[in-house]
Structure 1
Amino acid sequence: MLALVARLLDWLRSLFWKEEMELTLVGLQYSGKTTLLTVLASGQFTEDMIPTVGFNMRKITKGNVTIKVWDIGGQPRFRSMWERYCRGVNAVVPHYLHHLPPPHIYDSILACYMVDAADLEKVEASKNELHNLIDKPQLHGIPVLVLGNKRDLPGALDEKQLIEKLNLSAIQDREICCYSISCKEKDNIDITLQWLIQHSKSRQC
């Protein structure tokens, strides 16, 4: 009986309540952020993806959840923007980025950190940038989803190796989750989307 009532409430909620969340995609260049955004939005993989310069924003609607995704460039000159878009508030922007709009403030803000799991030479830099980002006081407690992309390539790190190499076990002040994915083969894209939607709901309760 209780299960039936719960399902009924969920159904009514889906009819009348629309949920919005804001997600920031960050990570070094060529990690697959823009590719992931395209796959989430259209289900299609594009081989010749042009790296994001500055930022890219798209809205993705899944059921009654709308995800506003900020895809922020991973080149060194854009990394100072990561914190601003992860915390979803206005901040001073460098003069050469004055054309960028401020992120809208949503109830649910999540960060998704992309890593090229097949580029072992950049793993250390990825770790340093991740820890520098989440050490910012303004980002305290924001959930982080770490995605090791390109698992389809030989030698790519698996989830256990990513957790070790990125020192994720040292992060104790927030929920952090790590998946090994392939945008090209669409491996684990479904559980990635499921995690995002679930956390959009839990953070609005």
Structure 2
Amino acid sequence: MEISLIGLQNAGKTSLVNVVATDEYSEDMIPTVGFNMRKVTKENVAIRLWDLGGQPRFRFMWVHLRLRFLCYLYCSAYSQSDPDNLSVSRSELHDLLSKTSLNGIPLMVLGNKIDKPGALSKEALTEEMGLSSLTDREVCCFMISCKNPTTIDQVIDWVVNHSKSKN
């Protein structure tokens, strides 16, 4: 299974990849320049994780990878510290999903950094990101913290089960 991890800068994409691949979290992450790819195997399912840079100059790349599954990370703690981030994030996601090359590709939205004060709830993130309006594809939403492996394990379990049910 191939998963493209996208989201604005500082959403936690690289941290998530590292936690999935190594089970270790680090506070000291440098921004991804371009993209990174890591291969992991979970429960006999090989997963290729594409970590795509979130800075504006790299967002054009988001649509170019031909993947079967899209994972969008949003830093749910930004809702209070940077309220404009949510509208930019929603706009970027919906613009991306309007591309015909991504028609029908399943979408998983992860509200990251739920351990931070002021983080959005799952219901608020779903509403603010306009996820209920996405009726042309499978959409799911999880709230996670890369610092808490339990939340990451739930996401990976869903991905693995989803992969097995599609085969």
Structure 1, unaligned stretches of length 5 or more? 1-20, 89-108
Counterpart amino acid of residue 38 in structure 1:
N
Q: CA RMSD in A?
A: 1.0
- 1:30-62 CA-to-partner distances (Å, cap 9, x unmatched) read 000000000001111001011111000000111
SS at match of 1:44: coil
Q: Which has the higher contact order (CA 8 A, sep 6+)?
A: 2
Residues 156-171 of structure 1: matches in 2 within 5 Å? 156-171=119-134
Q: CA deviation at 1:201?
A: 1.8
Distance 2:113 2:98 in 1: 27
The residue that corresponds to 1:67 in the other structure is: 47
Matched, 1:197 2:156: no
SS at match of 1:156: coil
Distance 1:59 1:49 in 2: 19
The answer on whether the counterparts of 2:43 and 2:160 sit within 8 Å (CA) in structure 1 is no
Over alpha carbons, which structure has the higher Rg? Answer: 1
Distance 1:169 1:185 in 2: 27
Distance 2:161 2:55 in 1: 30
Distance 1:141 1:32 in 2: 25
1:81 to 61, 68, 76: 61
The answer on whether the counterparts of 2:6 and 2:62 sit within 8 Å (CA) in structure 1 is yes
Q: CA deviation at 1:203?
A: 2.5
Q: CA deviation at 1:165?
A: 0.5
The residue that corresponds to 2:94 in the other structure is: 131
The residue that corresponds to 1:110 in the other structure is: 69
Q: CA deviation at 1:186?
A: 2.8
Distance 1:116 1:81 in 2: 20
Matched, 1:172 2:135: yes
Structure 2, unaligned stretches of length 5 or more? none
- 1:98-146 CA-to-partner distances (Å, cap 9, x unmatched) read xxxxxxxxxxx21100001011221111101110111111111110100
The residue that corresponds to 1:141 in the other structure is: 104
Residues 2-41 of structure 1: matches in 2 within 5 Å? 21-41=1-21
Counterpart amino acid of residue 58 in structure 1:
R
Aligned residues: 163
Q: CA deviation at 1:187?
A: 4.5
The residue that corresponds to 1:95 in the other structure is: none
TM-score, structure 2 length as denominator?
0.94
Counterpart amino acid of residue 40 in structure 1:
V
2:36 to 56, 59, 63: 56
The residue that corresponds to 2:146 in the other structure is: 183
